[in-house]
Amino acid sequence: MSINGKHALVTGGGTGIGLAIARALAEQGAQVTITGRRQVVLDEVAGGGLHGIAMDVTDEAQVRDVIDAAVDARGPLQIIVANAGIAEGRKLHKTDTALWRKIMATNLDGVFWTVREGMRSMLGTDWGRVLAVSSIAGVRGLPGGGAYSASKHGVIGMMRSLAEDFLGAPYTFNSICPGYVDTDIITRNVDAIKDRAGISADEAKQIMVQSNRHNRLIAPEEVAAAALWLCQPGSESVNGQEIMIAGGQVVGR
Ligand code: NDP
């Protein structure tokens, strides 16, 4: 058995980690629906098994309608990768309610709606994989990022609970937890940190590089390799788990 011909959904699949995962799945023959808010970004990378359609994960009705349209076009979803997310850092006691809600709407509501709506078609099939992109901030506190950390802890709780709900069924539910990965999120973080701390962009980047204990940023393709394994036959004994891809951060968990 392989994932050749299977229909996969990757939210936030037009850039960064999501795009690397989508491409890895497509290389194995999957038909991959990729989503994000910017159709123009999706159009740039579409082709070769990637099908781009705009979807804002903070809009429940849109998530349902877009997933229904994708299922009509390419059949039931058998791989769901809930990857879309935002990272805006602020100490929790200085986080206003608008920022809290924005982060929760994308990182928690968005994962919930994506998974719930995507699973409606998956449950009519005899094989499925659900994978959430959490973060090392989902397994430990993140200095200066309490709302983000809370949202990423929540994602892990969703996957663990689903794994319990479907024990013995032919589906698995896992999370991957990257450290600092070389994507647009890092570029935006560098800008935010340098402005806040009054340091140079290079110094701000070094903070993240050194947090990954192997002293470099992680490539999106490294995260995609782990995601691909979890989304393929052969990984069924791994269920309700979190895989750290973080250069040695969070050792001994
Ligand atoms: P990117 O900014 O490249 O990816 C985020 C993606 O999410 C974009 O494609 C974006 O597309 C999409 N997105 C954001 N908000 C929404 C929304 N409301 N509706 C639909 N799509 C949305 O960064 P990464 O690839 O790094 O991030 C991917 C995931 O990895 C995130 O969940 C992030 O938290 C997680 N992560 C990243 C780490 C890193 O160091 N890079 C570390 C740990 C976890 P668009 O803007 O077009 O909507």
Ligand 1, residue 20: give the atom nearest the CA: 25
Q: Is the pTM higher than 0.95?
A: yes
Residues 211 and 130 in one domain: no
pLDDT value, residue 201? 86
Q: Distance, CA 1 to ligand 1 centroid (Å)?
A: 31
Q: What is the pLDDT of residue 9?
A: 99
Domain range enclosing 189? 182-217
pLDDT of residue 150: 98
Q: What is the interface pTM, i.e. ipTM, of the complex?
A: 0.99
Q: Kindly report the protein residue whose alpha carbon is nearest to atom 12 of ligand 1.
A: 12
> Is 131 contained in some domain?
yes
d(CA 31, ligand 1 centre) in Å:
21
Are both 134 and 191 inside the same structural domain?
no
Please list the pLDDT of the chain residue by residue as tens digits (253 residues): 899 999 999 999 999 999 999 999 999 999 999 999 999 999 999 999 999 999 999 999 999 999 999 999 999 999 999 999 999 888 999 999 999 999 999 999 999 999 999 999 999 999 999 999 999 999 999 988 999 999 999 999 999 999 999 999 999 999 999 999 999 988 888 888 888 788 888 888 898 899 898 999 999 999 999 999 999 999 999 999 999 999 999 887 7
Residues 6+ apart with CB under 8 A from 82: 11, 110, 111, 114, 115, 130, 131, 132, 133, 155
Query: What residues contact 41, with CB distance under 8 A and at least 6 apart?
Result: 14, 15, 52
Query: Which of the listed residues 37, 55, 205 should we mutate to test ligand 1's pocket, taking the one with most ligand atoms within 8 A of CB?
Result: 37
Q: Which pLDDT does position 195 carry in this prediction?
A: 80
Shared domain for 130 and 209, answered yes or no, is no
- Residue 54 pairs in a beta bridge with 36
Whether residues 166 and 213 share a domain: the answer is no
Task: Please indicate, yes or no, if residue 1 is contained in any of the structural domains.
Answer: no
Is 171 considered catalytic here? no
Q: What is the pLDDT of residue 188?
A: 86
Identify whether residues 240 and 148 lie together within a single domain.
yes
Q: 211 and 154, same structural domain?
A: no
Total number of domains constituting the chain: 2
Query: pLDDT value at position 186?
Result: 87
Closest CA to 77 of 130, 15, 41: 130
106 and 206 co-located in one domain:
no
How far CA 65 is from CA of 112, 157, 165, 172, 221, in Å, comes to 15, 26, 25, 25, 30
Question: Same structural domain for residues 144 and 240?
Answer: yes
Protein residue closest via CA to atom 39 of ligand 1:
181
Could you tell me if residue 251 is inside a domain? no
Ligand 1, CB cutoff 6 Å, lining residues: 11-12, 14-18, 36-38, 41, 55-58, 83-87, 106, 133, 135, 178, 180-181, 183-186
CATH number for 224: 3.40.50.720
